[in-house]
Amino acid sequence: MKSKADAESHPVIQKHKLPLNVVYCTRCVISNQRPRIEFDAEGVCNACRFAEMKKNAIDWNVREKELLKLLDEHRSKDGSWDVIVPASGGKDSTFTAHQLKHKYGMHPLSVTWAPHIYTEVGWRNLQNFIHKGGIDNILGTPNGKVHRELTRLAFEHLGDPFQPFIYGQKAFPMQIAAKYKIPLIMYGEDGEVEYGGDKKAIGRCGHDASGDLLNHYFSGIGPLYWTKHGIRAEDLHPYLPPTQEEAQKVGLKIRFLGYYKKWVPQENYYYAVENAGFCANPDGRSEGTYSKYASLDDRTDGFHYYLAFIKFGIGRATSDAAHEIRDGHIDREEAVRLVHRYDGEFPMKHYQEFLEYTGLTEKRFHEVIDSYRPPHLWEKTDKGWKLKHQVS
Ligand SMILES: [Zn+2]
């Protein structure tokens, strides 16, 4: 048996400062292993507290007035683009771009950073967003050779193959904003406050170009880190946000629509179906969860959620069930049942494709996965790996 000191030295525990005693929120199903989340004296997570504020403490009329003021400052008079909406064509970005255009009279340019490998439904939704939703779009697709290499490196060294996508998803809309001199970038929700994270983010309408990209989105490791692993700096250009100087010249500001309008993913789904022909997952649900309408466009994203399950003991069903409790769609008992049934389901559907994409052998793939299991969360039994704690 490993000593406590050994356990504490595991890289995942060190890096994310994971508490060794696992505690679950008394209201939702999230645990204290989610990076940056905090629990109060009553054992309630800050995402649940924020959900409470959304219902009781925030005056949404006042917030909408703030939105109108912001948009009035930026709305173009000649119909030229006046707001950048980072968009995948999913339900949330469809809601954001479509509302800005049709309800608030803005002229959005949506900017898409391509998934690693498009799913059919993801591609169809982007096309519906453009053609049925009536939104202008720029699609950025990175150099596939570099992107594959980065994906493999990020899988091996960070335990998250999705990191190169996240770099571009953040940096590319900012680059386009700087290039076209459009200062305002409007995202959907602020994940840090909606799903639990850095409490400093509560009450913020957005941030400037520097934000806290490095810690909140890049796991503390920026794109240029990968030059240490043989990626050429010039090939990393698409992954880098504009320099401070470039951003200041344009006056870049990043805002979250979820600050100004009450954010309910399920309602965004109905809105996107009605206004842009959005399609849910044709398979009925996504692997690792019971939900059918979130994160549909990338064949590799099941591995992002699976690795989160390995590193933190909480997977895709936990995240989905937690926010559905907060939105009042399901109760905790049902959520627990859904987590037990679906959390950590292996993303079998695109497994072979993921191996081909990254060039990993099956053996190496499992070596990497197992290296990310923190000893306070996992134990090896004769039947294989088993989680030591589960929500109940
Ligand atoms: Zn909670």
**CATH number of the domain that residue 170 is part of:** 3.40.50
Q: Kindly state whether residue 278 falls inside one of the protein's structural domains.
A: no
Q: Looking at the domain assignment, is residue 167 inside a domain?
A: yes
CA 340 to ligand 1 center in whole angstroms = 17
> Block means of pLDDT (10 residues each) for the chain, length 392 residues?
64 89 96 94 94 92 97 98 96 97 98 96 96 97 96 95 93 96 95 79 83 66 92 94 90 95 93 95 89 88 95 95 93 97 96 97 97 96 95 94
95 shares its domain with 147: yes
Question: What DSSP element (H or E) covers 328?
Answer: none
- Å from CA of 158 to ligand 1 middle: 26
Residue 119 CA to ligand 1 center (angstroms) comes to 32
Residue with tokens 């340019």: 109
Q: Is residue 269 part of a domain?
A: no
Sign of CA dihedral 27, 33, 207, 133: negative
**DSSP-assigned beta bridge partners for residue 118:** 298
Both 256 and 301 in one domain: the answer is: no
Type and span of the H or E element at 306: helix 301-312
Check residue 294 and give its pLDDT.
Answer: 81
Give residue 174's pLDDT. 95
Tell me whether residue 274 is in a domain.
no
Q: Looking at this protein, which amino acid is placed at residue 380?
A: K
- Considering the domain architecture, whether residues 68 and 136 belong to the same structural domain is answered as yes
Q: Do 234 and 196 share a structural domain?
A: yes
> What's residue 197's pLDDT?
77
Say if residue 41 is in the same domain as residue 165: no
Is 208 found in the same domain as 143? Answer: yes
| Number of domains the chain is built from | 2
User: Do 30 and 72 share a domain, yes or no?
Assistant: no
What's the gap in Å between 45 CA and the centre of ligand 1?
4
Q: Quick count: other Cβ atoms within 10 Å of Cβ 237?
A: 13
Query: How remote is the CA of residue 28 from the centroid of ligand 1, in Å?
Result: 4
Does one domain contain both 120 and 52? no
Does residue 351 form part of some domain? yes
| Tokens at 239, concatenated | 């992954």
Token code pair at residue 41: 């004296």
Structure confidence at residue 226 (pLDDT): 94
Q: Which of 196, 225, 260 is the last residue of a domain?
A: 260
Spatial distance between the Cα atoms of 250 and 13, rounded to a whole number of angstroms: 40
Residue 390, number of CB atoms within 10 A of its CB: 18
Q: Is residue 103 part of a domain?
A: yes
Q: Measured in angstroms, how far is the CA atom of residue 49 from the centroid of ligand 1?
A: 7
- 30 C-alpha to ligand 1 centroid (Å): 6
Q: Is residue 47 part of a domain?
A: yes
Under 8 Å between Cβ of 28 and 20:
no
Closest CA to 125 of 9, 243, 281: 281
On whether the CB atoms of residues 209 and 252 are closer than 8 A, the answer is yes
101 and 242 inside one domain: yes
Q: Are residues 171 and 93 in the same domain?
A: yes
- Is 213 found in the same domain as 65? yes
Query: Which of these, 213, 216, 227, lies nearest to 37 by C-alpha position?
Result: 216
- Token readout for 102 is 């049709």
3-state secondary structure of 383: coil
Residue 272 forms part of a structural domain: no
Among 198, 226, 260, the domain boundary falls at: 260
Question: What is the extent of the structural domain holding 365?
Answer: 4-56+285-387
Tell whether 41 and 149 lie within a shared domain: no
